[in-house]
A and B are shown apart, each in its own frame.
Chain A
Amino acid sequence: MSKQKRSAEDFAEEVRTHLALEADELRAEGLSPEEASRRAHVEFGNVQTANERFYLRGRIQWLDSIMRDLRYGLRSLIHSPGFAITAVLTLALGIGANTAVFSVMNAVLLRSLPVNDPTRLVYFRTSNPPRRTGTISSSETFSYPVYQALRDQHPGLANVIAYVPLSVNKVAVRYGSQPEEAEGDMVSGAFFSGLGVKLPLGRGFSEQDEKDHAPVAVISYNYWTRRFARNPGVLGTTLYVNGIGFTIVGISGEGFEGLEAGGSADFWIPLQNRPELNAYGNPLDEGKAYINNPTWWCMRLIGRLSPDVNKQQAVAALTPLFQRAAYIGLGSPMADEKPLTLSLEDAKGFPGYSEQYGRPLHMLMAMVGFVLLIALTNVVMLLIARNATRQREFSMRLALGAGRSDLLRQLLAESLLLVTAGGALAWLFALLATRSLASWAQIEASLAPDRTVMLFALITLVVAALLFGLAPLRLALAAGPALSLKTSAATSNSEAGRSRAARIMVALQMTLCVVLLVGAGLLIRTLRNLENTPLGIRVDGLVVFGVNPHITSVPQGKAFYVDLIAKLRELPGVESVTVMAERLGSWWSDNSDMTVDGRLPDVPNGSSRTVRSNVVGPGFFTTIGVPILAGRDFADSDTETSPHVGIINEQFAKRFFPNRNPLGHMIGTDDGRYQMMVVGIVKDHKYRSIDEEPIPMAWYEYAQIPIAGKMDVELRVHGDPLAILPAARKTIQQIDPNLPLIKPMTQRAQYNLTISSQTLFARLAGFFGVLAVVLVATGLYGTLSYRVNRRTAEIGVRMAMGAGRSQVVWMILRDSLVLTVIGVIVGIPLAFAIGRALSSSLYGVQPLDIVTYSLAILGVTLVAFVASAAPATRAASVDPLKALRTE
């Protein structure tokens, strides 16, 4: 249909004609020419405006009508505040939860390191380190000689970079006079240049800095912001690390917080060789720091692939070099030792996060996805219910000449309002939720939502807006203009198709609800099991803190702890005191092979020879409350000069002394250098974490072992364990005023940290389960109430025909029970699949846990009953006469 577009001039001409004709007519009625012309103008109104409106007709009309639609939509939403609030809150919760979980996932799993071309970065991995070595992670850490060899010769790689933290947690630093703690790494000279980290201020390190072990430091953007308020004047000033001065020479780019898994480095220094700055803050091992100790594999290595080289090629080129370098300083491989393998792993994301959080986060994402699905169907059902009652309004509008596109626009406008309000609220909710998620999960990397997260939220919102606009449209149009003329509620609302759609949605919600409840149930039961797992320790009344005295020699260290233990024992309320090299329940353990009576014990083929060991003080087992099954505890009388003694656990005795009495036998380190006599056997107990299986363990007496540096002090006290801390702090400061208590907490809290991710996971799953239940209940309630309302007439007729109230109630209840049964039948296999996927996160509960499934089914049935109760009661109280009169 092609028509000539009418010109504005033509329209203006028509308006002039109109004014002339009007004036003619008025003159004919007896007015003076001037008066007639004036009146004609007045009657017409603003001529200019009319011309403008003609001109803008095609252009501004849509904007104008959108504004009108929005105003209209707003008014109609205000008229039904219950609906509007429910819909907006539902949306906010659904979308907010998704955005929050997604932004954590984005930060942790999806985001790339803020370095140059992260896709070409690779971590070094090995199958197993050589025998007689100690590692931080048996597949991920390497010794300094290995690094040195690969740094000097690295075919296939542009460069090789090493880094190692100065401490397990934080290291003592001082800026000015204030002692404090910070996280710091020692890194190779190519760290910043090789990774391609931008330094907005100052410089990075050079090869020369590494060679000289230069006293220079780069601080992170975050630390610069937090500690120095972004003062550029910090460049050139001195930061003392463990008492050694480092000149700050650079500030790293925003967002770069190092490569340590889960940590966020505050500063970096070049690799050092001083004893005070050993890797991981460890005391020297036989006088050797990490840098001249080929048996301590503690450094992580990262490399950048050369252009045009892929991982396989690089591995092939590097492997011979690596296999040679691995045995530098170790002698030749033992006869039965398998050849070492080298592999390279993509390093584009944040290290360690995907192992730690990958699975839980994917599961959480699936759960919140279900919640979102429930939330969306809920709002759709509410909208359909609401718009069905508005069918006459739509009909009337169609009858008055509104086009289908007008109706669509109006529905979209209303949906847009809902979604905008819901989205704004969701964003707020997501920001809060993300922050608490991060603090619960102890993720220190920046979780601030970035563009990806915003895009995610926006796409969700747009999909929701379209869905909400389009879903009710069919209904509105189905009404047709004729419907406005029908007056019977019964006839205008009995289309079977619509109620089928609603029923399918309710059944779908029930299905998702079952799945979520089962998931939540399994995880909560897991948490319960973990919390109720006996530790094998009398954990109440124990408090623990670390001390890191400035010690230059082993005898000085021993004297420090003897003195400290004696002083702490005298504090009122203290029952007993001991020390340990590795804190209980800190996820940390020293693993190695041990000799029994001078040789490595035979073990049935394939099974492990690994023994966990710890170095502890006198009265250790008495203090932590572990029963001694045979022999004795360590005592003050065990000293460097007395016979060296050790204590083992039941597992050790069972595995390495089958059918023998271990007391009096000798056990020792795998290199045979250190031997001790077994004087005690203690009951198995939890050592590293709550969910561990017992493994063979051995304990050394600290006075008899040539190490002395940082130790953790364990106190058993009467009353509130934390109340002793001020007195303990005072005692320590009397010895050395600069010593802080490191991470003081109750031993129970320390153990609970080992299940913090399970706790978080279970709590969140529980929260989403409850959310699902609430959403499903409101959705079902809304749908049922609406249907009962629509069926008032039918119910009236039934009752007039003699149906009893209980029959009416049953009619409504049966409806929702049928839907529940369908939901359960579909939901159970789905839940089973989810349970299987979760199985690695479960503890002490089977994926097909009858109790959990029964509770979940009971839960949805209850929801169905509760949500149906009110509508059913209302149906039963229908007065047949009144119901029929409304016809």
Chain B
Amino acid sequence: MPTQENNDDRIALLQGTLDLLILKTLLLGPCHGQGVARSIQRQSEEVLFVDHGSLYLALQRLEDKDLIQAKWGVSENNRKARFYSLTAKGRSELLDKTSQWKRLTRAMGLILEPQGLKAQNEEG
């Protein structure tokens, strides 16, 4: 899977994960592209870096797959913007992918994290 070389601490997103993050963000309510980007960056404590060009293509892809829908509206500061919201299909896709992701990361964690640390984490 192609990754990008990054000099800063931010991590470029794996392909496929961006879709998941978009769906997750939209679960909270309709949002425009710039809002989604900000939201992902902020919620990940600025660790994840969203390439804006890719973001819009990803939005388009999700829209093509009927996972999200879009319509033009007005932003809070009165700019015309394209608002995205989850469809029913997108909602169930999100649930699926989220549980898969959780099991995957748990499995990865089991392998990557030393036993002691894991125990502590579970306590904490």
Contact = CB atoms under 8 A, between A and B. Distances in A.
Contact of B53 (A13, A20, A45, A400): A45
Contacts of B15: 400-401
A24 B53 contact: no
Contacts of A45: 51-53
Interface residues of A, number: 33
A487 interface: yes
A6 B34 CA distance: 19
A547 interface: no
A760 to B, nearest CB: 53
A11 interface: yes
A814 B68 CA distance: 57
Contacts of B20: 401
A389 to B, nearest CB: 18
B34 A17 contact: yes
8 contacts: A14-B81, A15-B56, A18-B34, A18-B37, A18-B52, A400-B16, A401-B97, A485-B107
A581 B83 CA distance: 103
B104 A396 contact: yes
A58 to B, nearest CB: 9
B92 interface: no
A394 to B, nearest CB: 13
Contacts of A6: 60, 63
B77 A46 contact: no
Given A50-B53, A400-B14, A484 B104 contact: yes
Contacts of A18: 32-34, 37, 52, 56
A54 B80 contact: no
Interface in A1-29: 1, 6, 11, 13-15, 17-18, 20-22, 24-25
Given A45-B52, A50-B52, A484-B104, A20 B79 contact: yes
A399 B104 contact: yes
B38 A17 contact: no
A481 interface: yes
A54 B60 contact: yes
Given A44-B52, A396-B104, A400-B14, A57 B34 contact: no
Given A20-B79, A21-B34, A44 B16 contact: no
Contacts of A13: 82
B103 interface: yes
B57 A50 contact: yes
Given A1-B66, A6-B60, A400-B17, A485 B104 contact: yes
A887 interface: no
Contacts of B104: 396, 399, 484-485
B67 to A, nearest CB: 11
B90 to A, nearest CB: 13
B77 A24 contact: yes
A458 interface: no
A402 interface: yes
A401 B14 CA distance: 11
Interface string B1-28: 0100000000000111101100000000
B100 A54 contact: no
B52 A24 contact: no
B76 to A, nearest CB: 10
Contacts of A734: none
Nearest to B20: A401
A21 B52 contact: no
B88 to A, nearest CB: 14
B44 interface: no
B21 to A, nearest CB: 12
Interface string B90-121: 00000001001101100100000000000000
B34 A54 contact: no
A230 interface: no
Given A18-B52, A401-B15, 5 more contacts: A17-B34, A21-B79, A50-B56, A399-B100, A481-B100
A338 interface: no
Interface string A391-407: 00000100111100000
Contacts of A402: 16
Nearest to A49: B53
B77 A17 contact: no
Nearest to A400: B16
